[in-house]
Amino acid sequence: MTLLEMRGVRASYDGVQALHGMDLGVAEGEMVALLGANGAGKTTTLRAISGTVAVEGAVVLDGRDITGWPAHRVARLAVGHVPEGRGTFVDLTVEENLTLGVLARGSRMRGQVKEDLAAVHDLFPILREFSGRQAGALSGGQQQMLAIARAILGRPRLLLVDEPSLGLAPMVTTEILRSLRVLQAEWQLAVLLAEQNARRALAVVDRAYVLESGRVVAAGSAAELRENTAVQDAYLGAEQTGRPA
Amino acid sequence: MTELWQQILSGLGSGFIYASLALAICLVFQGTGAVNFAQGVMATASAYVAWTLVTRGMPFWLAFVLALVASFIVGALIERVFIRPVEGSSPLVMLTVTVALLIGLQAVVALIWGDDPQQLESPFGGGSVEVLGARLTAQQLGAAAVVLVTLLLAGAFFRFTTLGLRMRAAAQNPASARLLSIDVGRMLALGWGLAATVGAVAGVIFAPTLGVSPAMMDSSLLLALAAATLGGFESRVGAVVGGLVLGVAANLASRYVPGIGSDLQLVVPFAVIFLVLLLRPQGLFGRASSVRA
């Protein structure tokens, strides 16, 4: 069943158009990647969904047209967003950051907070260990884990994740992408993952869209895209030749 | 020695006025990035509201509570009407708006209540108490206690309640707070309301000492700005500590530094602002990274 649908979505910053008619869909419980180079429109696509950029066109969540809704109202519809730069509340403790996640969930899941917190701590033990520490003191990878933990504690049905690998060592990236996959399966989430590193993303997702200049230029299952020569040349070759992706 | 102790205690007494105004200023700054120059005159208006109610025959404490409620509502309204349209603007725009608020509100206060100073009876009576050899009036002691309780309550609110946590989150990282379904606009209005209430506590409870007049909070505002600078605009604890330190410093300077009488007391905040900006611009409790550009 389709959870999210975007039809002909356009968005711009200060008069410069970043999305030129995006069409995509995410089904319930599915993990989908948005691939593409810098400036292809990955971040803007996520922001168009969570209501943090003004858009034209149609963004439909679970049959409801949410185009133009303010971000805090979209969030109440169980949309979690792990933003670019991780959105850490640096002066708050790790625990307080997680509490904010819990507070974001609707009343229907309130009874399950303890179990969920325990599950998050099991997945990211470092967050339990550093519970009382200021979040700003965490490393980049730890802040990324915190951002994901905070977002999923809101019990979203759709989780938007923006470039979790940015600035992280390859091993940490692998660990984070793997935990996203675990969460997607165990928490029945749909995940929309924006990622420059196509090879790593395609290793974990079900499907992917390839973006270029604010529109979709290729789409398919992870296996299909891995075999697609055009995609290989443009995005998967990057790592081998050492060219910046 | 007793003399010095006496001066320190009465300095602390006025320090509580500066501490509450500084806390109010700091709450507004954390939320909206505006230094609210109107914080003093807002407290003045609260004092006038209480004075009006008391002269109509209402018991002091009921008038006190009603003035606080009114201040909360007006504070939140001011945010909605005057600050919301310029939210996220440059510091210069914010500065202009709050200075305009200061001038406008001062005019409104004078228009409603006139320029003549009024007297509000102390709710603590006219007695005095001896504290370790120093003599304090019941008013001094009672007012300090009320403000102290207010400051502790405000601290507990931010530290222990989920609403307080949401407000801190909205102030610190509004973009990220919105993604966690926090209505940032509402939090900012709440912050202004809360700031107005904290200022109102000081305005009303110290009105018997300061006298109720349109200018009653003018020098306190200056000292509160110095206190916030000293403690760091980003630190609530810093603002309160800064207020108390300045209260004592101003009092001691006027007593012991030759040439600085009570008329020249205001030299002290100027000197403090100047020195802090020169030596530690983020304030004693602020972090260098949190200084706004």
Q: Give me the DSSP letters along A3-62.
A: EEEEEEEEEEETTEEEEEEEEEEEETT-EEEEE--TTSSHHHHHHHHHTSS-EEEEEEET
DSSP state of B116: S
Q: In terms of CA atoms, which chain A residue is nearest residue B182? A: A72
- Residues of chain B contacting A90 with CB distance shorter than 8 Å: 172-173
Count of domains forming chain B: 1
Q: Among B187, B168, B170, which Cα is nearest to B236's? A: B168
State whether residue A100 sits within 8 Å of chain B by CB.
yes
pLDDT at A52: 93
A22's CB contacts (< 8 A; 6+ apart) are A6, A8, A9, A10, A41, A45, A48, A57, A211, A214, A215, A216
CB contact under 8 A, A75 and B175: no
pLDDT at A27: 95
CA distance linking residue A188 with residue A183, whole number of Å: 8
CA distance linking residue B226 with residue B203, whole number of Å: 18
CB contact under 8 A, A101 and B176: no
Residue A242: pLDDT band by 50, 70, 90 thresholds?
very low
Q: Among A238, A241, A240, which Cα is nearest to A37's? A: A238
Give whole-number Cα distances, B283 to A89, B113, B241, B248, B258, in Å.
Answer: 21, 38, 11, 18, 28
For residue A67, give both structure tokens.
């185009």
| Residue A198 falls inside a structural domain | yes
pLDDT at A41: 93
CA distance linking residue B206 with residue B196, whole number of Å: 15
CB contact under 8 A, A81 and B179: yes
* CATH of residue A204: 3.40.50.300
- Residues of chain B contacting A150 with CB distance shorter than 8 Å: 180
Q: Look at the alpha carbons of A179, A181, A185, A191 in this order and tell me if their dihedral is positive or negative.
A: positive
Selected residue with higher pLDDT from B136 and A48:
A48
- Residues of chain A contacting B291 with CB distance shorter than 8 Å: none
Place of tokens 């529109």: A215
State whether residue A75 sits within 8 Å of chain B by CB.
yes
- Residues of chain A contacting B179 with CB distance shorter than 8 Å: 50, 52, 71, 75, 80-81, 83, 87, 151
Structural domain for B110, as ranges: 2-114+132-213
| Residue B157 falls inside a structural domain | yes
List the single residue in A52, A88, A96 with the smallest CB-CB distance to B178. Answer: A52
List the single residue in A50, A91, A92 with the smallest CB-CB distance to B179. Answer: A50
pLDDT at A243: 44
Minimum distance, in Å, between the CA of residue B67 and any CA atom of chain A: 32
Number of CB pairs < 8 Å for A and B?
A: 68
- Residues of chain B contacting A101 with CB distance shorter than 8 Å: 180
CB contact under 8 A, A92 and B165: yes
For residue B271, give both structure tokens.
């000197």
Are β-strands A207-212 and A31-35 bridged in parallel, bridged antiparallel, or unpaired?
parallel
Cβ count near B55 (within 10 Å) = 13
Selected residue with higher pLDDT from B66 and A227:
B66
Q: Are B238 and B29 in contact (CB under 8 A)?
A: no
State mean pLDDT over A26-44: 93
| Residue B107 falls inside a structural domain | yes
CB contact under 8 A, A100 and B178: no
pLDDT tens track for B110-155: 999 999 999 999 999 888 988 878 888 999 999 999 999 999 999 9
Q: Are A191 and A184 in contact (CB under 8 A)?
A: yes
CB contact under 8 A, A89 and B176: yes
List the single residue in B165, B168, B181 with the smallest CB-CB distance to A72. Answer: B181
Count of domains forming chain A: 1
| Residue A88 falls inside a structural domain | no
CB contact under 8 A, A83 and B175: yes
Residue A236: pLDDT band by 50, 70, 90 thresholds?
low
List the single residue in A71, A92, A99 with the smallest CB-CB distance to B179. Answer: A71
List the single residue in B175, B181, B184 with the smallest CB-CB distance to A104. Answer: B181
pLDDT at B293: 32
pLDDT tens track for A73-93: 999 999 999 998 899 999 999
Minimum distance, in Å, between the CA of residue A70 and any CA atom of chain B: 8
What Rg, from alpha-carbon coordinates, does chain A have? 17
B77 alpha-carbon distance from chain centroid: 18
- Tell how many helices (H) and how many strands (E) occur in chain B: 12, 2
Give whole-number Cα distances, B11 to B14, B243, B248, in Å.
Answer: 5, 10, 4
| Residue A149 falls inside a structural domain | no
| Residue A126 falls inside a structural domain | no
Give whole-number Cα distances, B137 to A191, B9, B18, B30, B119, in Å.
Answer: 66, 11, 19, 35, 17
CB contact under 8 A, B176 and A87: yes
pLDDT at B242: 93
Q: In terms of CA atoms, which chain A residue is nearest residue B172? A: A89
CB contact under 8 A, A87 and B182: no
CB contact under 8 A, A72 and B184: yes
CB contact under 8 A, A90 and B176: no
One-letter amino acid for residue A25 of the chain: G
Choose, out of A72, A148, A153, the residue to mutate when testing the contact with B (most B CBs < 10 Å): A72
For residue B45, give both structure tokens.
């208006």
| Residue A226 falls inside a structural domain | yes
pLDDT at B275: 87
For residue B150, give both structure tokens.
């207010």
Minimum distance, in Å, between the CA of residue B74 and any CA atom of chain A: 25
Q: CB burial class (10 A; 0-12, 13-18, 19+) of residue B241?
A: buried
CA distance linking residue A233 with residue A37, whole number of Å: 13
B218's CB contacts (< 8 A; 6+ apart) are B40
| Residue A213 falls inside a structural domain | yes
Q: In terms of CA atoms, which chain B residue is nearest residue A49? A: B179
Minimum distance, in Å, between the CA of residue B83 and any CA atom of chain A: 19
| Residue A205 falls inside a structural domain | yes
| Residue A99 falls inside a structural domain | no
Q: Among B26, B67, B273, which Cα is nearest to B168's? A: B26
Minimum distance, in Å, between the CA of residue A172 and any CA atom of chain B: 23
Minimum distance, in Å, between the CA of residue A223 and any CA atom of chain B: 32
pLDDT at B215: 92
State mean pLDDT over A224-229: 86
Structural domain for A235, as ranges: 2-83+155-241
B134 alpha-carbon distance from chain centroid: 27
Minimum distance, in Å, between the CA of residue A40 and any CA atom of chain B: 22
CA distance linking residue B39 with residue B225, whole number of Å: 10
CB contact under 8 A, B165 and A99: yes
Q: Are A6 and A22 in contact (CB under 8 A)?
A: yes
pLDDT at B288: 57
Query: How many residues are there in chain B?
Result: 293
- Residues of chain A contacting B187 with CB distance shorter than 8 Å: none
**Regions of chain B with pLDDT less than 50:** 290-293
CB contact under 8 A, B179 and A103: no
| Residue B103 falls inside a structural domain | yes
